[in-house]
Chain A
Amino acid sequence: MTRKTRRLWLVIACVACLGTAAALILRAFSSDIVFFVTPSQVEASPPPADRTVKLGGMVVAGSVKREKHGETPVATFAVTDGQAAVTVHYEGILPDLFREGQSVVAIGTVHPPHEFVASEVLAKHDETYMPKEVAEALKKSGKWDPRFGPPPSAASWNSMTVQDARKNLSAPAAAN
């Protein structure tokens, strides 16, 4: 066994393992990546029904309804980014930090036009935390201009109802 053959073996092993790793990553990237969508994106171009996505936004105040299908509890609530609202159905226990008017992330699939079936609902530890996408949407809708101070507090989201969200949606539409 010379130095050269040993090196050859090493190179073969490295290429095989890293190649496999790269192939696995690429394959998983094409099927297992979860895209983050906002309610307005769901409205504009809903992802296919077999694709798992993450829906982020604020829980619309007064929209949370809890029902029972047999013995299974089902929660229904609307998620908004200030421009559009999507209704989320979730079978299970909502997390402790879930609040109306606070940010939430739901993982699941879209059933057009406005329905979302969540397999998991996440609420953030921090009550002042706002997902970046929601902050962007707020800026776009004119509810928050970063030049004039910090974003509106989570409590003010309480006043943002579906009507508000619709109004914001219709405003740019009217401008067109």
Chain B
Amino acid sequence: MLSPELGHYALALACVLAAVQGIIPLIGASRRDARLMALAPGLAIGQMIALSASFLSLIYAAVTDDFSVQNIAENSAVSKPLLYKITGVWGNHEGSILLWALILGLCGAAVAAFGRNLPSALRARVIAVLGLVATGFELFCLTTSDPFARVWPAPMDGQGMNPLLQDPGLAFHPPILYTGYVGFAVPFAFAIAALIEGRVDAAWGRWVRPWAVAAWCFLTCGIAMGSWWSYYVLGWGGYWFWDPVENASLIPWLTGTALIHSAIVVEKREALKIWTVLLAIATFSFSLSGTFLVRSGILNSVHAFANDPARGVFILGLLGVVIGGSLALFAYRAPALTAGGLFAPISREGALVLNNILLCSLCAVVLTGTMYPPFMSLLFDRTISVGKPFFDATTIPLALPLFIFMGFGPMLPWKRAQLWPVLQKLWIAAIVAALACGVAVFRLSGVLPIICAAAAVWVIAASLTDLAERTKLFRAPIGTSIQRARMLPRAIIGTAIAHAGVGITVLGLAAMSQAQHKIVEVPIGTTEQLAGYTWTLKAVEQEPGPNYTAMVATLEVRRNGQLITIMHPSKRSFNSQNQTTTDVAIHTNMLADLYGVLGDRHGPDNNPTYVLRLHYNPLAPWMWLGALIMAFGGALSLSDRRMRVGAPQRAKSSSATVSVS
């Protein structure tokens, strides 16, 4: 009994519950009425259940091929594999907005479930703010992009899905990226709640940080997956195009990274409070704008399939209310927050402030580069575009000092530090970085890649040094070191791992600047030389697939006569949509990717020639591996005892359970 009408009804119910969730607890918190405040968790969980029911009914409709639902008829087909019937639910505008709302509902329920040791007023307010944001999005879903709209007469078969999107990487990319985007709604709600309350203290920092770190981990993975998808699907050998949609995810990542660092200062030293609140607001605002940029088509890009002005106006209004309202509240209430403790410029806090300034400068640069073209075309009617040369010239000089200070930061003591003792501890890391620089001079060409590679090695070496110092490795008996390592807070290990992950990613980026490629048009049997490898086109065959026919090449790669791999790049022609897609063949040994693309077939039938694109991409896998390591470091620090939000005590008031019926 999961009819689409039921799903629609559940969505409307969720919207009403969200509105109640947004109003009643706020009133309760301002009147100090425990009964009203206690309603908040029940409402949040109820809203989550209603949204889940709604989402499940949409999945059910997709799996059972209910083409009377317009959204399914337009995006699905009987012949589509089951996996893509399910994941196709969020592969389109309506479904993705519903997914967004569902994740927001899950965040609210998570605060309700894990936030039991929060002060009741703060918890009620946080849940209420999440409810208000959810109301906006669910209204948007109901009024302008109803995923359950029926179509009559129902077609016999759906129109199918863009074959380019029929890919496992893209299937799971949106939920992870959205969890990252939406996850920052929780720090945002904490910030708004703190502004309403007029109080930010160390405890607030401790509560907000796990949520920010969790969202950051998801966003990191989401961005890496998106980049990896474009690397192996688009077949250009590129991994990041500085496309507005990609930048829209990078900007909240930069401010989110600043947020998880400045929240440490709030927690440990009760300083940077106003700044952290502002960062929380900014990060979620950028996340919202990110969706807006994708969904409204204000920034035309290869990714933007949704162009609809009515939706754009609604989203613009929603953005105006959320961002404008929260900034107005900030301007009104921030002066009431008391200034924090004092610290010297050379100290852990000082390093974290510098981290924040540099990250925000980077964010400003990326934001300028992304927003300048639409503003130019809007105001001066000039069409320009800002691409890789611009971003390379502006971001690298700002990122390099960030990497250098990343090495020192975690080793500086709080409050007041001396630089010299820290430098003494880091001499091995400095020598390793200098050696890496020497190696890079011989292996890499160009000044910036060499400096970036050295900085990356410096970051990795300094992170490892930090761990070695704390465990007294090589200075104490090995048993003592192991004992110390066991006692080490997971947050510290997580920091070192995440920082090393940054180094690994940067090393991959630096090496990728040396990627080599070759485009040839050759008959079968030809041998090409690239990057010390011998590539031979052995055969090209036609192979039928479920809903396409493929032209599959057999490409043999040898090095010094020894067989390395046999690759099968192919080109698929989809019968239904008159579309072709390129299926890249990638062979990796983790140090380099061999990347082969099959292009068009030319010439007479008895002696055809084929276009081949061959790439040698050194350290390419490290770029994504580093991002995964960063996210792993974040997850590890989340498991720190200090961070376990709900663990220490349970709420004792019995009134809290009454509301859940």
Contacts and interface: CB of A to CB of B under 8 A. Distances in A.
A36 B383 contact: yes
Given A13-B357, A35-B382, A73 B521 contact: yes
B305 A126 contact: yes
Interface string B351-374: 001100110111011001100100
A32 B361 contact: no
A18 B519 contact: no
Given A1-B342, A28-B389, A71-B520, A20 B602 contact: no
Interface string A79-92: 00000000000011
A91 to B, nearest CB: 7
Contacts of A36: 383-385
Contacts of B342: 1-3, 6
Interface string A14-50: 1001101100110111011111100000000000000
A79 to B, nearest CB: 15
B361 A21 contact: yes
Given A32-B386, A92-B519, A24 B365 contact: yes
Contacts of A1: 342-345, 416
Interface residues of A, number: 44
Interface in A112-168: 122, 124-126, 131-133
Interface stretch (B83-91, B487-495, B579-587): B579-587
Given A13-B357, A18-B361, A73-B611, A94 B600 contact: yes
Interface in B92-136: none
Interface string B392-425: 0110011000000000000000001000000000
A9 B349 CA distance: 13
Nearest to B401: A17
B427 interface: no
A165 B176 CA distance: 48
A118 to B, nearest CB: 13
B597 interface: yes
Interface in A64-119: 66, 68, 71-73, 91-94, 96-97, 107
Contacts of A9: 345, 350
Contacts of B519: 72-73, 91-93
B162 interface: yes
A6 B372 CA distance: 34
A124 B582 CA distance: 15
Most A Cβ at <10 Å: residue of B344, B571, B600, B602: B600
B305 A93 contact: no
Given A27-B393, A93-B611, A34 B361 contact: no
A94 B601 CA distance: 12
A10 interface: yes
A101 B284 CA distance: 42
Query: Most chain-B Cβ atoms within 10 A of its Cβ — which of A20, A54, A93, A125?
Result: A93
Contact of B383 (A35, A71, A92, A122): A35
Given A21-B361, A32-B393, A73 B386 contact: no
B335 interface: no
Interface in B571-613: 571, 579-582, 597, 599-600, 602, 609, 611, 613
Contacts of A71: 520-522, 526, 528
B156 to A, nearest CB: 24
Contacts of A91: 519
B384 A33 contact: yes
Interface string B56-77: 0000000000000000000000
B332 interface: no
A132 B353 contact: no
A93 B398 contact: no
Interface string B488-527: 0000000000000000000000000000000111100010
Given A94-B600, A125-B302, A125-B305, A24 B397 contact: yes
A84 to B, nearest CB: 17
Contacts of B305: 125-126
A13 B350 CA distance: 10
A165 to B, nearest CB: 20
A27 B397 CA distance: 13
By Cβ-Cβ distance, the 3 closest A-B pairs, closest first, are: A36-B383, A73-B521, A93-B599
22 contacts: A1-B416, A3-B342, A6-B342, A20-B397, A24-B397, A25-B365, A28-B390, A31-B389, A33-B390, A68-B521, A71-B526, A72-B519, A72-B520, A72-B521, A92-B613, A93-B611, A93-B613, A94-B599, A96-B579, A125-B305, A131-B300, A132-B383
Given A21-B361, A73-B519, 4 more contacts: A27-B393, A34-B384, A52-B389, A126-B305
